[in-house]
Structure formats: structure tokens, C-alpha cells
Amino acid sequence: RPPPQLFCCCSCSRPMPESRRRRPAAAALLFIGAGCFGGVALLPGREGPSAMAVPLRRVLVTGGNKGIGLALCKQLCRDQGFHVLLGSRDAGRGEEAIGSILKEAPQCDGRIELLRIDTSEDASVATAAENVAAKFGTDPAPLYGVVNNAGVGFGL
């Protein structure tokens, strides 16, 4: 079986430069980001431009209900046209954040939704992953990217 082919995902469909192939993380990627995020796609046993997957435009932002996460959710949805999964531990705060985004950017209606997730709890992360897979499927990958923005408090 031939080795997997690595391709750039900047819509150029060119093979990944040899210098980037040497990065250990690149070889482990299945499908992480693309386009403006500079990610790569690993496409086993295929060659050429026709093997390129169309970049997905669905992003999960953990800790998306306030601060930088909220601002990023708003920008990705309003300015970049992404479908955003706003990750939040608290459903009430998450819905409030979505409401504030929709009030400011009504064009985001239907392209932003809440995903309950507590990144400090393995069970919550597993449940969130199952919910995403159930709603969006797994082939192709259901997410274009994940922004790990959730903070962890230590009770200090």
C-alpha cells in the first residue's frame, strides 16, 4: 500500500513541501484545518488535486460564551461565514452569548449554535464529540477546526 499523500489545503492542491513533511505533527494529522488556517489534509493512497477534500467551514470554539471566545465566535460567524459551535459549560450563558451575537449580527441566524462542553470533564468532552458526530456525521470530518479557548480555574 502506498504511503499517504500530504497536500496543502490553501486551495492550491499542490503536494506539501518536503520541509513541512518532516514535522512530526504533520504526519499524524488526519484532517485539521485548511485554507486560511494553514492546516493540512492527509489523504491515504490518493494523488493529485482531485483527492483534495473541500475545506469544511464548521468550527467549535470552547469557552465561547464570553471574552475572547465570544469575540471569536462573532467574527468567525459574522465576518468569515463559518458555522460556529459555541462551546460553553453553562447552557444559559451559552444561549445568552448566542442571543447577543444574533442581536448584533442577525445574518448569523442558523449558523451559530450551542454545544454544551466542559473541557475539564472527560465525560462532557466525550458526550460533546458524540453529539457532533450524531448531528453532522463523521465522513468527512465534521469540524474544520477547534479553538481551545476554555479556561481552567484552580480556585485560587
Q: What is the pLDDT of residues 80-126, one digit of tens each?
A: 999 999 999 999 999 999 999 999 999 999 999 999 999 999 999 99
Cα distance between residue 117 and residue 76, in whole Å: 19
Residues 97 and 124 in one domain: yes
Residues 19 and 85 in one domain: no
Q: What is the CATH number of the domain that holds 87?
A: 3.40.50.720
Domain count, the chain: 2
Segment (H or E) for 124: helix 122-136
Residues 65 and 142 in one domain: yes
Residues 10 and 40 in one domain: yes
Q: Got the DSSP string for 44-86?
A: TT--SGGGPPPPP-EEEETTTTSHHHHHHHHHHHHTT--EEEE
In this predicted model, which residue has the larger pLDDT, 39 or 14? 14
Number of H-type helices and E-type strands within the chain: 5, 7
Q: What is the mean pLDDT of residues 66-78?
A: 95
Task: Give me the phi and psi of 132, to 5 degrees please.
Answer: -65, -45
Pairing of strands 5-8, 40-43: antiparallel
CA distances from 105 to 41, 61, 73, 123, 146 (A): 32, 18, 11, 33, 22
Q: Is residue 153 part of a domain?
A: no
Q: What is the mean pLDDT of residues 38-61?
A: 52
Q: What is the pTM of this model?
A: 0.64
Report the phi/psi class of residue 10: left, alpha or beta, with left for phi > 0 and alpha for psi in -120 to 50.
Answer: alpha
Q: Is residue 102 part of a domain?
A: yes
Residue 16, domain extent: 5-46
